Chain A
């Protein structure tokens, strides 16, 4: 069981990592003015949000090997499906949040002669991260719960172990209630982590505001 918990945590952490990468790539290309960047992003997001995680997971596990003659490890197929699916949801968050920044920020950055890349990197993205956090937190809890689906493509996570032990020992009730509680604790933990991050980002802004006057004097008012 403990091994299963480890695998679940591993899948969750890998999933979160790749979800973030997918989300920012798809989210930022979705904001692009160039159609050859924006269109693939839109198609990707709609396909992966529209067809359901389980289908995608089975497709990567069963259909992809037939199509391209490559065999994915169950863990890889599971993490891939999770990251692409949740990444599609998170990409919409990235896109929506950055788009909803006050227009004055973009205009001020243009007025200061910042290049579009710098504008995105130094102004828009840093401002958007605190606003994205609550929504990202939901996606991460969702991802954690959905890791249970990797058991269906034979990854030996918590759910898979419970099913497996059940056939050996028959302690159905204890096993399932245990993993139910474990999943609940893990999602509470993720919830706390998100709230902690939210607080930290809020705090940073405040301490920054306090530090600013002194710093401004030191660097000659460049801030």
Chain B
């Protein structure tokens, strides 16, 4: 087959790997944001503070109900008009983090709800202060079952970070689109990009499946 140009494929590898590295960095920073924001949202929703908790309920449902692409466009095109313009990269990282924080909040919630009521009651009976109840009793037990779920979301973020290429970020997808556009040769960059995504997410998902078996108690 003479469609696939091997020399071209090798020549674009450095650029693609550079984009790939950026993709990985974006994923981890966004993941940290979504873990932190998600925890905050989950706790506020759990405490059932009037009005505030309802607002956070709406936040979760709204963020989960709208496309990441549109959210990214809004952050990139609309916020500067309101005097909050940032570079594409920080904008993209924050959008991805915020988007997944809504999913993380749901995961935290399921984790917190899995902690048996007896644990709460026992903490109350021992008159533990709320902070210790949360951080020494509830959170350690809530974290165990949600680790694999969070891992799955990390992989999904990794793949979804490709969407940020549409707000001019040159991560793996953006780089391969740019190469494709420059040389008008799309087959090689697209295929390599797909394989690179696969090379990370497939082994990670196997790893998470093993983790799942170890961390989730078999009922």
Q: Which residues of A contact B (CB under 8 A)?
A: 46-47, 49-56, 58-59, 62-63, 66-67, 141, 145-149, 151-152, 159, 162-163, 166, 172-173, 176-177, 179-180, 183-184, 187-188, 191
- Whether B162 sits at the interface, judged by CB under 8 Å, is yes
Chain A residues near B150 (CB-CB < 8 A): none
The 10 closest A-B pairs by CB, nearest first: A62-B186, A52-B159, A148-B67, A187-B65, A145-B67, A54-B162, A63-B187, A50-B201, A51-B194, A50-B198
Chain B residues near A173 (CB-CB < 8 A): 78, 81
A166 to B159 CA separation, bound complex (whole angstroms): 28
**Does B197 lie within 8 Å of A55, measured CB to CB?**
yes
Chain A residues near B151 (CB-CB < 8 A): none
Taking A55-B162, A145-B67, A159-B70 as given, write out 6 further A-B residue pairs in contact, using a Cβ cutoff of 8 Å, ordered by the A residue number: A49-B205, A62-B186, A166-B77, A176-B70, A179-B70, A187-B64
A166 to B191 CA separation, bound complex (whole angstroms): 32
Chain B residues near A177 (CB-CB < 8 A): 74, 78
A151 to B73 CA separation, bound complex (whole angstroms): 12
A191 to B65 CA separation, bound complex (whole angstroms): 9
Can you report 9 residue pairs joining A to B where beta carbons are below 8 Å apart? Answer: A51-B198, A52-B162, A55-B173, A59-B191, A59-B194, A163-B73, A173-B81, A176-B70, A183-B70
- Tell me the nearest residue of chain B to A174, going by C-beta: B78
**Does B70 lie within 8 Å of A180, measured CB to CB?**
yes
A59, A146, A179, A184: which contacts B62 (Cβ < 8 A)? A184
B157 shortest CB reach to chain A, Å: 11
Count of B residues near A, CB < 8 Å?
A: 38
**CB contact under 8 A between A58 and B66, given known A47-B198, A50-B201, A180-B74:** no
B65, B66, B160, B187: which contacts A67 (Cβ < 8 A)? B187
Binary contact track B60-103/A, C-beta < 8 Å → 1, others 0: 01101111111101100110010000000000000000000000
Chain A residues near B77 (CB-CB < 8 A): 166, 172, 176
A166 to B81 CA separation, bound complex (whole angstroms): 13
Binary contact track B159-199/A, C-beta < 8 Å → 1, others 0: 11011011000000100010010000111001101110110
Q: Which residues of B contact A (CB under 8 A)?
A: 3, 61-62, 64-71, 73-74, 77-78, 81, 159-160, 162-163, 165-166, 173, 177, 180, 185-187, 190-191, 193-195, 197-198, 201-202, 205
A50, A152, A159, A180: which contacts B205 (Cβ < 8 A)? A50
- Tell me the nearest residue of chain B to A146, going by C-beta: B67
